[in-house]
Amino acid sequence: MRMVIIGRPDTPRVAEAEALGLSVQLLAGPHDGDAQGLLWMSLHRLNPDVVWCVWESLEPPDVELIRQYRVIRGATRLVVELPAALEPPDAAVSTLVSLGVYDLVRPTDALGAVLDRTPHYGDVARWHAGGDGAGPTPLRSSGPADPEIAAAQTVAVISGKGGVGKTSFVSNCLVAAAPWGAVGIDADFVKPTLHLAFQAADAPLPHELDQLLVALESGSRQRATEPWSPRDQQTLRDWVRQADLITDGVRLVPGLSRTRDVLPAVPPGVVTALAEAAQKVARLTLIDTPGSTMEPSWVEAVQAADWLVLVTTPDYAAVLESIDVLRKLDYLHIPRSRVWLVISQRGRSGYSTAEIVETQLPLPLLAVIPDNPPLWHQAWRLHQPPAVKDRKTWADIVRRMTGLEPDRPRQRNPFRIRRRRPALTSGR
Ligand SMILES: Nc1ncnc2c1ncn2[C@@H]1O[C@H](COP(=O)(O)OP(=O)(O)OP(=O)(O)O)[C@@H](O)[C@H]1O
Ligand SMILES: [Mg+2]
């Protein structure tokens, strides 16, 4: 095996590799920005089996050059030795992971042991998450204004790909969250569908989002960081307080009606402000997000949340995009320790649950939702989420997801649809 080591002249790795009988060549650094172009060029020529790169000898590391090298020499094993002091999350390391570099090692790791094992994505993801693999923990404990509302929690439900079951998940959790008291916010401004889980598409939407946008006086703010006026803060709070009840104790802040021809642009900061307002009136806030992580409302939703629930189906493309979502969260400095995984087995084929959790998306598994096309079709057609009939399953998910116990007395059948209208399609 031929190995190239990129490191300081005195790196002990050379002696370690030679002791194992490897053919080793040292490209001694430090390598500054300009020298790194030549460095990776010479690696193309040398074409070793393994490149062992001591991160500190690149000053500073040029990740783009590494990307180019990976594209051309994808079969070469690239081991990156990170400094002991480097703490996650780290943007450059996240990029390496996204390039498929899973051989991230520490100075204390023995060279022989590193070369003997086959690293996979789970190893590095765990490093990012802080190592213990325990369930998510909230970073922020939101301070509800109402002292009666203890320990408010906000959960954003996200995915890397559209159509995996986010809105289905949110609508069921909302139904089951009645004993806690909850607000659901539809942050999918391009294709709002959360209200369609509870009412027909042609039914009027009394609290349509555009009425709020008209009422906001500082709606033309350019940046999300600009403060809302006190009057706007009151407007936002009233908006959430007066949102429609979908069941006792659960309100829904919908997006825009699907019958509109033109969708108004939603100014920055609205999701953040709605989430803050919701945190003050309910113990649990659930945010449904767009399938595209490029939407500004997606970023606001994940930043407002205590926990994230990443929903994926088991197929290759959905899992791949979910891995990409984790990388985006790294860029946003959102620790992976705040992310739950939900596998919606829609379509069924793809990775097994064990494969997903052990090698692809090593996150604590919150729930596996079985594939059941007729059940879900009926649920959407009749605007009654399955949790109406199967409260226990979904209440258990809410309990586990938030760590909260309900503090409202249980009611017999609190679910009721306020405006029952004929369904848009007959189902035939
Ligand atoms: N476990 C399941 N088994 C079968 N079908 C399902 C399951 N979960 C959801 N579905 C169906 O998948 C479709 C998409 O679900 P949903 O709208 O919840 O996805 P989404 O992630 O919110 O999509 P989008 O990204 O477009 O907002 C729906 O038609 C729903 O009935
Ligand atoms: Mg949706």
Give 215-234 pLDDT, tens digit per residue: 887 666 666 567 788 888 88
The answer to whether position 410 is within a domain reads: no
Question: For residue 351, what pLDDT is reported?
Answer: 95
Question: For residue 338, what pLDDT is reported?
Answer: 87
Say whether both 328 and 281 belong to one domain. yes
Burial of 126 (0-12, 13-18, 19+ CB in 10 A): middle
The pLDDT tens digits for 229-263 are 888 888 998 999 999 999 888 999 998 877 777 77
Q: Which atom of ligand 1 is nearest to the CA of 371?
A: 3
Cα–Cα distance measured from residue 89 to residue 326, given in angstroms and rounded to the nearest whole number = 11
The answer to whether position 124 is within a domain reads: no
Say whether both 209 and 303 belong to one domain. yes
**Per-residue buried b or exposed e for 65-77, using 16+ beta carbons within 10 Å of the residue's own CB:** bbeebbeebeebb
Instruction: Tell which of 100, 119, 138 closes a domain.
Output: 119
Choice from 167, 353, 384 to test ligand 1 binding pocket (greatest atom count within 8 A of CB):
167
Q: Measured in angstroms, how far is the CA atom of residue 413 from the centroid of ligand 1?
A: 25
Cα–Cα distance measured from residue 426 to residue 422, given in angstroms and rounded to the nearest whole number = 9
pLDDT, averaged across the chain: 85
pTM value is: 0.73
Question: For residue 28, what pLDDT is reported?
Answer: 95
The pLDDT tens digits for 312-348 are 999 999 999 999 999 888 878 888 888 999 999 998 7
Say whether both 105 and 169 belong to one domain. no
The answer to whether position 66 is within a domain reads: yes
Instruction: Tell which of 119, 145, 174 closes a domain.
Output: 119
Q: Which atom of ligand 1 is nearest to the CA of 171?
A: 18
**Per-residue buried b or exposed e for 227-257, using 16+ beta carbons within 10 Å of the residue's own CB:** ebeeebeebbbebbeebbebbebbbbbbbbb
Domain span at 370? 153-402
The pLDDT tens digits for 261-317 are 777 778 888 898 899 999 888 889 999 999 988 888 898 899 999 899 999 999 999
The answer to whether position 414 is within a domain reads: no
Say yes or no to pLDDT of 129 above 70. Answer: no
Q: Measured in angstroms, how far is the CA atom of residue 171 from the centroid of ligand 2?
A: 10
The answer to whether position 421 is within a domain reads: no
Say whether both 87 and 171 belong to one domain. no
Based on the structure, what is the number of domains in the chain? Answer: 2
Say whether both 320 and 202 belong to one domain. yes
Which domain CATH number covers 377?
A: 3.40.50.300
Question: For residue 126, what pLDDT is reported?
Answer: 63
**CB of 387 closer than 8 Å to CB of 175:** yes
Residue nearest atom 3 of ligand 1, based on CA coordinates: 371
The pLDDT tens digits for 153-175 are 899 999 999 999 999 999 999 99
Say whether both 38 and 105 belong to one domain. yes
The answer to whether position 25 is within a domain reads: yes
Across 65-79, 109-123, 324-338, 375-389, the highest mean pLDDT is recorded for 375-389
**CB of 373 closer than 8 Å to CB of 135:** no
**CB of 283 closer than 8 Å to CB of 152:** yes
The answer to whether position 422 is within a domain reads: no
Residues with CB under 6 A from ligand 1: 159, 162-168, 188, 191, 193, 291, 344-346, 369, 371-373, 376-377, 380
The answer to whether position 141 is within a domain reads: no
pLDDT classification of 213: cutoffs 50, 70, 90: confident
Say whether both 349 and 300 belong to one domain. yes
Q: What percent of the chain has pLDDT over 90?
A: 52
Choice from 191, 292, 311, 376 to test ligand 1 binding pocket (greatest atom count within 8 A of CB):
376
Which domain CATH number covers 93?
A: 3.40.50.2300
Say whether both 89 and 236 belong to one domain. no
Q: Measured in angstroms, how far is the CA atom of residue 273 from the centroid of ligand 2?
A: 21
Say whether both 160 and 103 belong to one domain. no
Say whether both 185 and 110 belong to one domain. no
Say whether both 257 and 334 belong to one domain. yes
The pLDDT tens digits for 7-46 are 999 999 999 999 999 999 999 989 998 899 999 999 999 9
Q: Which atom of ligand 1 is nearest to the CA of 379?
A: 31
pLDDT classification of 418: cutoffs 50, 70, 90: very low
Residue 199 CA from chain centroid, whole number: 28
Say whether both 47 and 89 belong to one domain. yes
Q: Measured in angstroms, how far is the CA atom of residue 198 from the centroid of ligand 2?
A: 13
